[in-house]
Structure 1
């Protein structure tokens, strides 16, 4: 039974209710002062509280997508995501293979030409040999006869760490929001490629080309666009691609747009930070390479490198986000370059969570849509 399944949550709720009822029922029988009665009371209270915490933990994980499985939760996930023997697969099916397809939930209709389609895909990097799953949203226009010769702009959408790609679909509602905005004429139809920045789980690579490890930045800057271009009708010019992310994904989005303006014409970071952390989840990302470490520090990059010709969006809130002061400082640093364009979404209040990002996503999609070309 999966960690994120509704059956798991219901089982935990039923267990908590049974323990509560059992505690009330057995309490009179355990009212004595001998060691057995006291131990029984302590055991029932402890078991009931643990069951309640289990319900809360599973519910919060479902809402925010922190862990995708029990193995992910306990750090036992063994699929490293770095594959070195994919020659046969690449030759047979290309770097992107569609594994399943379904409708966009929350929109009326079931035909792809009316609501669009969400495809679950597997992607293998031709140069990095990184293999990772993703979800691709295709707008209704993609399936309509009058647009059969048209190419579409594309935006890569990244979760935070650890995150789950599915949360971008059914928790943050990127496809549904994009469909509604395009239907109302507030953004152009776009293809969304939704995935985790964690392409070598359980390690948090912070979209860095780790020396001797996963070349994550190269995967997102070269392999991913190449794979999508080979399979879908996406605009081939640099102005056709954008990237969005929250938290860790927000840092990655800003960095990729700044490092690779020839690939990503726009990058939006929702609740981002501006320098890769080094902790137990990342390990040693730079292996003593000072130049690589500096390049991954967006503060250093703005000061010491030529200003990239790209557009950036950052978000924060005055109350509830720890990055508020850094975000204001980052905006001023970018404005001083006189070339890189910067926009922002600043909320009065909002924490580092899905509810805050859902409030920012419509504006973000409209912003990035206005900066991308469909050719």
Structure 2
């Protein structure tokens, strides 16, 4: 049973109803054990209500899934055989496990392969998509419906056929927020994303090997990841798109550099700006994000360039990001190199 599925939610709601009936029926029964019976019934009711609430929250955030639960024990796997088409247009979503030779993290990753990947012999540009916290790559596939978006944009000619990566950013995505950094004495997520993932993808898939063919995108915490990783590794990526991202990591990395080298705004103000293209999107009614986004835009100087997209309302939500996903991918594709014969 899916951990975010409707059957599980229906089951927990049924348990709430049954325990409520139990409380009502047992309230005046039990004789000398009446207090104990009442206590057991109330405890069962409280547990069922809590379980139903947690299931609903998980349905909204997809913070915990079967894939997330298996991260800590996942082993490296070879690239699977070609998949059957996953949509009417012939694109597929392939699930792999990336061996972390440098980071020591072995994490699941979903890979979008456009229809052209199955029929041609080209090497394709790559966009690496980072998820938010608490969340995981499935949010891109379900809440943001990214496969359908990519199929539509490619079919319309607004986007070149592109391989899109959806990696995990933590072995415990529901409880451990890494912000795509190398945590001191703990998970080396930045190394996983910038060393292990590119090495695996370049070895296993027909993709471009050059910086001009690689970009980043992310929403929420993943938006910070996209801009931060692009600025920290400008020799690896040519462009990055941020959907509602803050300037700083919002966690303790452990190296004391959270407000400086890990902060996007600080880097723009104190370090040479690389020849990089950034797309910054936000909604005006989000908390803190409009302020950080506007500061980042004002701090940008050539050779770095910034494009902005601002929505009037919607808050920090999937509704806002669904409106941004298509334009952001189109913008990225226009700034990345085309498929290479």
Contact 2:68 2:171 (8 Å CA) reproduced: no
Report how far residue 192 of structure 1 moved.
0.8
Instruction: Look up the match of 1:242.
Output: 215
SS of 2:236's equivalent in the other structure is coil
SS of 2:80's equivalent in the other structure is strand
Instruction: Look up the match of 1:59.
Output: 56
1:344-364: CA deviation from partner (whole Å, max 9, x where unpaired):
221111122222211211111
Within the alignment, does 1:209 sit opposite 2:209 as a pair? no
User: Residue 100 and residue 10 in structure 1: after superposition, are their counterparts in 2 closer, same or farther (change >3 A)?
Assistant: farther
Where do residues 339-350 of structure 1 align in structure 2 (5 Å cutoff)?
339-350=303-314
Within the alignment, does 1:310 sit opposite 2:310 as a pair? no
Where do residues 1-375 of structure 1 align in structure 2 (5 Å cutoff)?
3-20=3-20, 26=25, 51-68=48-65, 79=72, 97-98=79-80, 101=83, 103-104=85-86, 107-108=87-88, 114-144=89-119, 148-199=120-171, 202-278=175-251, 284-288=252-256, 290=257, 294-334=260-300, 337-374=301-338, 375=340
User: Residue 192 and residue 19 in structure 1: after superposition, are their counterparts in 2 closer, same or farther (change >3 A)?
Assistant: same
User: Residue 21 and residue 174 in structure 1: after superposition, are their counterparts in 2 closer, same or farther (change >3 A)?
Assistant: same
- TM-score using structure 2 length: 0.85
Report how far residue 226 of structure 1 moved.
1.6
Contact 1:64 1:354 (8 Å CA) reproduced: no
User: Residue 116 and residue 165 in structure 1: after superposition, are their counterparts in 2 closer, same or farther (change >3 A)?
Assistant: same
User: Residue 46 and residue 310 in structure 1: after superposition, are their counterparts in 2 closer, same or farther (change >3 A)?
Assistant: same
Contact 1:286 1:293 (8 Å CA) reproduced: no
5+ residue gaps, structure 1, are 109-113, 279-283
- Alignment RMSD (CA, Å): 3.2
SS of 1:345's equivalent in the other structure is strand
Report how far residue 244 of structure 1 moved.
0.8
1:79-137: CA deviation from partner (whole Å, max 9, x where unpaired):
288xxxx9xx7xxx7xx633994543xx43xxxxx421111001013333321110001
1:131-169: CA deviation from partner (whole Å, max 9, x where unpaired):
11100010111112xxx2211111111111231222221
Contact 1:137 1:192 (8 Å CA) reproduced: yes
Report how far residue 2 of structure 1 moved.
5.6
- TM-score using structure 1 length: 0.78
User: Residue 15 and residue 251 in structure 1: after superposition, are their counterparts in 2 closer, same or farther (change >3 A)?
Assistant: same
User: Residue 39 and residue 320 in structure 1: after superposition, are their counterparts in 2 closer, same or farther (change >3 A)?
Assistant: farther
Instruction: Look up the match of 1:281.
Output: none
Matches of 2:45 and 2:149 in 1, distance apart? 40
Matches of 1:268 and 1:341 in 2, distance apart? 12
5+ residue gaps, structure 2, are none
Contact 1:161 1:198 (8 Å CA) reproduced: no
User: Residue 184 and residue 70 in structure 1: after superposition, are their counterparts in 2 closer, same or farther (change >3 A)?
Assistant: closer
User: Residue 256 and residue 71 in structure 1: after superposition, are their counterparts in 2 closer, same or farther (change >3 A)?
Assistant: closer
Contact 1:316 1:324 (8 Å CA) reproduced: yes
